[in-house]
Amino acid sequence: WQFLYSLKPNRAPLVTYYIPWVGSAVPYGMQPYAFFENCQKKYGDVFAFMLLGRVMTVYLGPKGHEFILNAKLNDVSAEDAYAHLTTPTFGEGVIYDCPNWKLMEQKKFCKAALTRENFIKYIPKIREEVLKYFSTTPEFDEGSVDVPKSQAEMTIFTASRVLLGDDIRRKLDTGFAQLYSDLDKGFTPINFVFPNLPLPHYRKRDEARETVASTYMSLINKRRDENDIQERDLIDHLMRTSTYKDGTKMTDRELAHLLIGVLMGGQHTSASTSAWFLLHLGERPDLQQELAEEIEKVLQGRELEYDDLQNMPLVNNIIKETLRLHMPLHSIMRKVTNPLVVPNTKYVVPKGHYVLVTPGYAHLSNTYFPAADQFDPHRWEDQQKGSEDSVDYGFGKVTKAVSSPYLPFGGGRHRCIGEQFAYVQLGTILVTYIQNFTWKCKVPDPDFTSMVVLPTEPADVKFVRK
Ligand code: HEM
């Protein structure tokens, strides 16, 4: 097959492999950035590799970001790349199980809950959840805390409290939390490869999705029956806004599925980010001290509010630097639906192949970030915000050019809508940790084998109360 591929004119060079169908799955799956670096040395910025029967064409660097993230809707499809993974977990009719214009509108509906006004209300609740977590988790006072686990729990508690409301949050203190865990087990790379095997955890995933969706639907019904639609959380906002521009309304089931998808989109990404910044700070008592001083200077003993976070550059730059070194999604993929000419090259990617973009690789390059392997939040100071052209795909304005080397939230029509929320949630978590603890630890290596790039276990930290 490799020979036949090489005979076709205008194909990107194919990375040699030895096991048919499997191709380069092992080196790519275990160490994607090392794999890309080796390929770049051999083939340059554009190359293709076989991944479990799929041919992936990679374009490294900012030109690749532009090529893939701003590709035309007619030429590439995210839903054809992701739906087999996401639809069984989120449910039907939303995200990648609907036409792209509907996804753009669903993102717009969700953004109604992600405004400054709402963030002001969310912060005290997030803080309360974090403090409650500290006081109800004995490992913070004796022994050590498994940080990837604590941050996954803290993320789900804080996000559920503010986006799904008090009722759903209370349910998480009961068996309901197990359902999220069952859903999660259906959202792993193995599902990406074999979405339809009769595995026991797929049955559990399907049951969990049905129960979670029914719970959300009951709450929606209750609020509607009691005429109790306010502006508390994402559910309230979706109940107000979710009429498509063609006049059709999202059904309650679709709303429930959208809630699952949006919460899941923010869960792993934010949880891994806070785990990584805690681990980096464990190696940097100097930064913990600097953060404590910044926080104290701004708050002067008051409780944290939204505007305070805007006046804490180090807090924000810690998050920014963590997302540079540990972009949670190392690969963003699209399926090619029309032959795609690769700009600045003679290559054409045929219909049916995939394109892969990896901003996380540029994040680690000395070309764009001097001493790129160093955790240095101060590198982001004095950055001028340029006036950039923007474009609106239907869910609000996003930067038109995506040729930046730094794109932790992606770009183009599929760009993340959760960036500001993530900064609010992560900033509040970071401030609350610094106010309560000091800690020391070493940063573990990344583990690339789960859905997001996580610290390799054990990643235990001993916290000392202030
Ligand atoms: C899309 C990263 C948090 C909801 C994306 C994409 C990236 C990303 C890279 C683009 C995916 C692609 O192009 O295929 C992150 C990171 C986060 C984060 C690094 C936190 C540190 C969140 C949160 C939410 C969220 C908190 C929800 C509240 C979404 C949604 C999309 C998205 C709805 C759109 C998917 C699409 O249009 O195809 N995110 N995300 N994300 N994210 Fe996030």
Residue 395 CA to residue 382 CA, distance in Å, equals: 30
What is the residue type of 329?
Answer: L
Residue 412 CA to residue 104 CA, distance in Å, equals: 11
**Could you give the ipTM of this predicted complex?**
1.00
Q: Is the CB of 265 under 6 A from ligand 1?
A: yes
As annotated, the binding site for heme includes 416
Do residues 267 and 424 touch, judged by C-beta distance below 8 A? no
H runs (alpha helix) in 160-251 = 166-171, 176-185, 189-193, 200-225, 234-241
Tens-digit pLDDT profile for the chain (466 aa)? 888 898 888 999 999 999 999 999 999 999 999 999 999 999 999 999 999 999 999 999 999 999 999 999 999 999 999 999 899 999 999 999 999 999 999 999 999 999 999 999 999 999 999 999 999 999 999 999 999 999 999 999 999 999 999 999 999 998 888 898 888 887 877 777 777 777 888 889 999 999 999 999 999 999 999 999 999 999 999 999 999 999 999 999 999 999 999 999 999 999 999 999 999 999 999 999 999 999 999 999 999 999 999 999 999 999 999 999 999 999 999 999 999 999 999 999 999 999 999 999 999 999 999 999 999 999 999 776 666 789 999 999 998 889 999 999 999 999 999 999 999 999 999 999 999 999 999 999 999 998 899 999 999 999 999 9
CA of 289 to the centre of ligand 1 (A): 31
CA of 315 to the centre of ligand 1 (A): 21
Site to probe by mutation for ligand 1, drawn from 416, 423, 428, 429 as the one with most ligand atoms within 8 Å of Cβ, is 416
Residue 157 CA to residue 159 CA, distance in Å, equals: 6
Site to probe by mutation for ligand 1, drawn from 269, 322, 335, 404 as the one with most ligand atoms within 8 Å of Cβ, is 269
Do residues 130 and 274 touch, judged by C-beta distance below 8 A? no
